[in-house]
Amino acid sequence: AGSYGFQAQYMGFPGGPAVPPVQNQPVMQGGTIWMPVPPSIPNCPPGLEYLTQIDQILIHQEIELLEILTGFETNNKYELKNALGQRVYFAAEDTDCCTRLCCGPSRSFTLRIIDNLGREVITLQRPLRCSSCCFPCCLQEMEVQAPPGTTVGYVVQNWHPCLPKFTIQDEKGMDILKITGPCVVCSCCEDVNFEVKSVDETCTVGRISKHWTGFVKEAFTDADNFGIAFPMDLDVRMKAVMIGACFLIVSLLFPNI
């Protein structure tokens, strides 16, 4: 993996190494507890310092009252939290109404991820592409920028007749990690797990999960919960790309998002 060092071991979700102590206290903003702002780190993209202190992220999609009452799709918004329940980032999709209604899960979108200082620290760019295995030359991909305007990696869908498979790449297009999901992507009564593996797919190093939230919530809202587990010592740029991979996977394979 070159400079993107990590330990080739399974990172449980939840679980893994304990979060190192931080000096600052959690910040309260509008009733929300934010993760303390970590100190600046040399050669770390601004805003990604948070990722040096965590080995998992919980992503909660906010319930939109307008969608429940009218069925009209609005721009999705998300909270990204650490294992202590503190908000690390806030994310919001930026697409127009026509794109959401006409293109559905294959839509192009820009998703902006903001830290507790109000800075846009990660930008996810997804172009409009095919999602069918019948078109292997035009499958899904996502560009991850951190900070906005600086590409740190890509998520690329790989062709496979049965399995959802993706590759995490660095900014030069070099393969860093592989992602493989189950043959049948069904979230009824149980979590759906996508294993994150080394390039040769011999070692599992993390996981992206769609969590089962219960019959009522699954049936009447499109507010879902997801989780990402990665090695604590994985390069923060690749952690950011894994966040991008999670958003690409759930928007593509779980149509109600």
Q: How far is residue 199 CA from its own chain's centroid?
A: 19
Residues in the chain: 257
Residue 166 belongs to a domain: no
Question: Which domain covers residue 90, as residue numbers?
Answer: 49-159+212-253
Q: Where are the alpha helices (DSSP H) in 89-147?
A: 97-103
Structure tokens at 241: 């790309």
Residue 205 belongs to a domain: no
Distance CA 254, CA 102 (A): 16
Distance CA 178, CA 214 (A): 30
Are the beta carbons of 252 and 155 closer than 8 angstroms? no
Number of domains in the chain: 1
Residue 172 belongs to a domain: no
Q: What pairing do the DSSP bridges indicate for beta strands 141-145 and 56-61?
A: unpaired
Cβ neighbourhood burial of 66 (10 Å; 0-12, 13-18, 19+): exposed
Are the beta carbons of 124 and 142 closer than 8 angstroms? yes
Residue 118 belongs to a domain: yes
Residue by residue, pLDDT tens for the chain (257 residues) are 445 655 544 444 444 444 444 445 666 666 789 999 899 899 999 999 999 999 999 999 886 554 444 444 567 899 999 999 999 999 998 876 665 566 666 677 899 999 988 999 999 999 876 665 566 667 889 999 999 999 999 999 998 888 899 999 999 999 999 999 998 776 566 888 999 999 999 999 999 998 876 544 444 445 578 999 999 999 999 999 999 999 998 888 775 54
Residue 244 belongs to a domain: yes
Distance CA 244, CA 102 (A): 23
Structure tokens at 117: 């200082």
Q: Where are the alpha helices (DSSP H) in the chain?
A: 65-70, 97-103, 215-220, 236-253
DSSP H or E run through 86: none
Residue 133 belongs to a domain: yes
Residue 248 belongs to a domain: yes
This prediction has a pTM of 0.81
Residue 233 belongs to a domain: yes
